[in-house]
Structure 1
């Protein structure tokens, strides 16, 4: 178990560093020049994933709370609620990123083209709705989370060393699971539909460019590179999310959590927020060029020294 905890902490540490780097980069882009609509969404996704990874790493938050002398019940409610909200926001914002990229690359003759020039207006409204919905929809976890007590173990499901979920009515539990599943199925369906739409557009443009330009020009297209990155993230998200969802749903319905299963679930849940910034960093030319410039400056300083 100790080696598994070390893996989880290493994963969380890597993910937090990558997301923080990406967050500061997008903030710099947003403040310094006219950002793309997808930059603002990616900035928010990096912030969400940072919080998701921090709340998932119990040791870090627990040390912070211990230094502030905050009671365990509040710690459990806060970390679990924030973790669940960030998880919900992750799927919503990833879906939003997929939709906005589909609108961005849609041809002028398509139905989606008329939304291109109103993306920022729709984006602000979308952010407000998504955050409000998730904060309210997942508020029930505040009432069903608390400190683990040996007195009534049968009415609790241990989720960390000191935190547990309190027993709830089977009908309420089934209703919450049904609503959460319906939300996730809808969002994943939208992601798959927009992904298929983007693939069709890319294939059409590839055939057109074969007649007009060289393939090297097509490969260098920033629009195509950005679309391919988002497609990769969506596909990866869908696979990892449903594997994690099957594990957590089964454990929730059976009201049983094994420490190993819980650790595996945490690892799976943290794969997407850890991989996402690394994929975005490696595929964004602006970041690559910035890192190359920084490397050149460092070499120049070292040579002078």
Structure 2
């Protein structure tokens, strides 16, 4: 009992740390966006990413908060539907926003003679239609949860192995074969774009590194452009995303094939689900001296 309380308290603490980190980064980039005479697309993308992280952390963390403090019967079926639905939508938005962040940053650092340079967004307003599309897409993909999510309420015996306050009722095979391919297609498209843009940035950074080595051998002074330093930060952010995403997928597959109940694995999966939302703002904070310089250089 004590170990369960400690585990849930740690989870709650990590959730609060993630929320505070995302709020600080979000406020920083919101002020930078509004205070700049020219609205930078990257400011808006990072603000949207942190806002998405906050929704995910609040939706997932609220269930744990209810359990830790013993607030049983706090949520009814409608409350569970809203929380789990927002959690699913926020996870999809995180994938989409991270992908567009990588693509835009790759376009920014592309050579002036490159054809990709013409795709560079001229202002932040050119990004807003993408965000609208992301919200509509993920809201549609997750709509099945509205019908299948229930609150445990007082009926805990049927779900005694689960720590979650809400549970998923069985869905028809027809619904599964509609929703699952859409989720797989969404993840494949956006992660494919993310991977292609990341590979392109690695190629450009490698060329830049070779150029720096040449200048150093020639004993010439050279400072790395802020755009390239920011690209390194975005790549680190994408590595963080891919690590938590694919580790979560692998663990989910393991649990689905496992015959026994493994509370440890379930707890680890719960942490991995929120890992990117918790740690991504601190990647930005740690590189904060580099990133803001780049955004003004655009």
> Scaled by the length of structure 2, what TM-score is found?
0.83
Counterpart check, 1:132 vs 2:153: no
Residue 181 of structure 1: aligned partner: 184
* RMSD, aligned CA: 3.2
- Displacement after TM superposition at 1:42 (Å): 0.5
Among candidates 55, 68, 76, match of residue 80 of structure 2: 76
Aligned counterparts, 1:226-241, within 5 A: 226-241=230-245
Contact 1:101 1:227 in 2 (8 A): yes
Over 3 Å counting, the alpha-carbon distance change for 1:91 and 1:107 in structure 2 is same
**CA–CA distance in structure 2, aligned partners of residues 267 and 216 of structure 1:** 45
- Displacement after TM superposition at 1:50 (Å): 1.1
Residue 205 of structure 1: aligned partner: 208
Residue 92 of structure 1: aligned partner: 96
Counterpart check, 1:15 vs 2:18: yes
Aligned counterparts, 1:8-157, within 5 A: 8-33=11-36, 34-57=38-61, 58-60=63-65, 71-118=75-122, 120-148=124-152, 150=155, 153=158
**CA–CA distance in structure 2, aligned partners of residues 94 and 126 of structure 1:** 12
> Scaled by the length of structure 1, what TM-score is found?
0.81
**CA–CA distance in structure 1, aligned partners of residues 221 and 277 of structure 2:** 32
- Displacement after TM superposition at 1:173 (Å): 2.4
Contact 2:9 2:68 in 1 (8 A): no
- Displacement after TM superposition at 1:247 (Å): 2.9
The DSSP-based 3-state class of the residue aligned with 1:284 is: coil
Residue 295 of structure 1: aligned partner: none
Residue 296 of structure 2: aligned partner: none
Higher helix share: 1
- Displacement after TM superposition at 1:284 (Å): 1.8
Count of aligned residue pairs for this structure pair: 284
Residue 168 of structure 1: aligned partner: 171
**CA–CA distance in structure 1, aligned partners of residues 256 and 117 of structure 2:** 43
Residue 303 of structure 1: aligned partner: none
Q: Deviations over 1:191-212 (max 9, x none)?
A: 1111010011112223334445
**CA–CA distance in structure 2, aligned partners of residues 62 and 127 of structure 1:** 34
Counterpart check, 1:243 vs 2:286: no
Q: Deviations over 1:81-138 (max 9, x none)?
A: 1111101100110001000001111111112111125353431111111111111111
Structure 1, unmatched stretches of 5+, are 290-305
The DSSP-based 3-state class of the residue aligned with 1:285 is: coil
The DSSP-based 3-state class of the residue aligned with 1:193 is: helix
